[in-house]
Amino acid sequence: MDAATTAGLSPAPTTHSRLLAWVAEVTALTTPARVVWCDGSDGEWQRLTGQLADAGTLVRLNPELKPNSFWARTDPSDVARVEERTFICSVDPDDAGPTNNWMAPEEMKQLLGELYRGCMAGRTMYVIPFCMGPLDAADPKFGVEITDSAYVAASMKIMTRMGTPVLDVMGADAEFVPALHSVGAPLAPGQADVMWPCNDTKYIAHFPDTREIWSYGSGYGGNSLLGKKCYSLRIASVMARDEGWLAEHMLILKLTSPQQKVHYVAAAFPSACGKTNLAMLEPTIGGWKVETLGDDIAWMRFGDDGRLYAVNPEYGFFGVAPGTDDSTNPNAMRTLAQGNSLFTNVALTDDGDVWWEGMGTPPAHLTDWHGNDWTPGSGAPSSHPNSRFCTPISQCPILAPEYDDPRGVPISAILFGGRRKTTVPLVAQSRDWIHGVFMGATLSSETTAAAVGQVGVVRRDPMAMLPFIGYHAGDYLAHWVDLGKDADPDKLPKIFQVNWFRRGDDGRFLWPGYGENSRVLKWVVERLEGTAGAVDTPVGLVPHPAAIDTEGLDLAYADLAAALHVDPTEWAVEVPQIAAWFNQFGEKLPGILWTELDSLKERLR
């Protein structure tokens, strides 16, 4: 079938010959019933969501409560990223390293080529040109996703800058990352569709040498919205290694002090460990202001002035729903209240709104994420723990105007955080860049529902990038070390480690978190400005409890002290774990990180 002459559809709106050739090739392989080039218009959104509502994949929410918004439920087997099915198909297996699954590129292409054969039969194939980061960037990073999922096409409209304006800037021969996605559920003539088509066989494959993405079998965001983790982290981290920049799993926020001094902060926490919440934080301390630039991904490059500048490549938020509430993240609630959003695997209220755990007292009746009746006595949660909202960044009431500036914003501080019940203090500053890289390289966190698998297991997660480094993790850590070597130390961001999730012996969180994290940000700024003290502990510079502003905070001194405590016996347990973690990288691990480990051992003595 010729894409340009499909009955009733407009011809391909581009003269980009490599793009046209690729679309023709995929069309011939996957044999869709029709091909649609996405233009990114509001009319297109209405058409896509209308068709999905007719098909039963989406339910329109009450327009009085959530205008132009929809509720989706996935197949219960397709609810999160699938790390075991995610592959880095580098030519050299050593380029994938010990932390990634690897398959030879030809072998993966052969295997997926067979799965893709005829896989879009009976379906519409959408061609989605997109750009990660502002379109007016000096070196815009283009991609084109081909997908047979209208849910993906609608989600990509929220999450990326996409459509005809992108094709216009791409012109006739711009570089782009081809990103192919299929749910892997062809329809025979007359066969009725299911609510959430997907396939038990799943592959999320990346080809870093040729900068291509092939995804099969899953419709869930992290596996199917290929501009996000697949492009902006796995492929972009390889681009960044080659071109001397960083593609990181980080939020970006702007912090203004009562003295009107501005600092930009980036923070890397693993999936479902607090990035969206910190990015939109409402400070509980007077005179401080937070504005949002991004909640998940930061691309960072050195500017001519020697400072590290961050850009958010995304255009929307794909956030964890449970736990989001007026009390924890009021700015997310205000963003969602404006509508124009997709909600996936949350619960539906009887008046056509959404509900999830953490929103206060549950209503007497809900339709849960399985589509079943739910009451507070039901036992199981109404929403999947990895249920998500997908909403435009432009609706965030505290969006910093410079979020769209292609030059990015200069970062003063980088926070590395994880979810640890024990051991890791509320906040610690690194002694220098290398010690900060050591903090990032040894970051650990309990696993969450954001990926399929066991929840609550502590694992090392370097820079919160474990599932997202598109090459050898040892080379990745060396890249971080190298960037610091060439830079002016006074201009480098200062690096901190945080842990909002430490618990008391009774299991309670020791630190209240959320908006109260502004008190930790205040100490961070005071460290940057040289006005706060710190205790030199074996693991870094930690505030004395008295150095944290607790005015108006109802928190026992003992809890704060316990949250900040550095216990050498707990840390002594970490040391051999860190050594085992480092050992698997062999020669690739920069020797200076072993020196840092020796120094930690020495300090613990």
The total of other beta-carbon atoms located within 10 Å of residue 417's CB is 26
Q: Nearer to Mn ion by C-beta: 296 or 549? A: 296
Q: Which of 49, 100, 218, 517 binds ligand GTP (CB under 6 A)?
A: 517
451 secondary structure, DSSP code: B
Q: Is 275 marked within a binding site? A: yes
122/327 Cα distance (integer angstroms): 46
450 sits near ligand SPV (criterion: CB under 6 A): yes
* Nearest approach, Cβ of residue 316 and ligand GTP (Å): 12
- Count the helix, strand and coil residues of the chain and give each as a percent rounded to the nearest 5: 30, 20, 45
10/444 Cα distance (integer angstroms): 51
Q: Is 157 marked within a binding site? A: no
* Nearest approach, Cβ of residue 81 and ligand SPV (Å): 5
- Residue 415, CB-side half-sphere exposure with 13 Å CA sphere: 30
Which residues lie below 8 Å from residue 260, measured CB to CB, with a gap of 6+? Answer: none
461 sits near Mn ion (criterion: CB under 5 A): no
Q: Please, what is the end-to-end C-alpha distance for the chain in angstroms?
A: 71
Q: Is 388 marked within a binding site? A: yes
Stretch (H or E) spanning 125? strand 124-132
198/227 Cα distance (integer angstroms): 19
Q: Which stretch binds Mn ion (CB under 5 A): 1-9, 39-47, 296-304, 492-500?
A: 296-304
Residue 574 binding partner per list ligand SPV, ligand GTP, Mn ion, none, with a CB distance cut-off of 5 to 8 Å that depends on partner kind:
none
280/274 Cα distance (integer angstroms): 10
Q: Nearer to ligand SPV by C-beta: 293 or 525? A: 293
- Whether 273 is a known active-site residue: answer yes
Mark residues 371-410: x for contact with ligand SPV by CB under 6 A, - for none: ----------------------------------------
* Nearest approach, Cβ of residue 494 and ligand GTP (Å): 21
Residue pair 476/437 in contact (Cβ under 8 Å)? The answer is no
Q: Nearer to ligand SPV by C-beta: 271 or 537? A: 271
Restricting to residues 265-284, name those near Mn ion by CB under 5 A.
271
Tokens matching residue 380? 């199981």
Specify the residue for token string 């105007």.
401
* Nearest approach, Cβ of residue 354 and Mn ion (Å): 20
Residue nearest to ligand SPV (CB): 222
Restricting to residues 433-472, name those near ligand GTP by CB under 6 A.
450
Q: Is 229 marked within a binding site? A: yes
378/373 Cα distance (integer angstroms): 9
289/283 Cα distance (integer angstroms): 7
Q: Nearer to ligand SPV by C-beta: 19 or 321? A: 321
- Residue 206, CB-side half-sphere exposure with 13 Å CA sphere: 34
Specify the residue for token string 């008295």.
546
Q: Which stretch binds Mn ion (CB under 5 A): 263-271, 285-293, 509-517, 523-531?
A: 263-271
Q: Nearer to ligand SPV by C-beta: 148 or 295? A: 295
Q: Which stretch binds ligand SPV (CB under 6 A): 220-228, 471-479, 558-566, 577-585?
A: 220-228
250/522 Cα distance (integer angstroms): 19
| Cα–Cα distance list, 356 to 135, 320, 353, 381, 386 (Å) | 35, 10, 10, 8, 11
Binding site for ligand SPV (CB under 6 A): 81, 221-222, 228-229, 271, 296, 318, 450
Task: List the binding residues for Mn(2+).
Answer: 229, 249, 296
Binding site for ligand GTP (CB under 6 A): 269, 271-277, 295-296, 319-320, 322-323, 328, 450, 500-501, 509, 513-514, 517
Binding site for Mn ion (CB under 5 A): 271, 296
Q: Which residues are catalytic?
A: 273
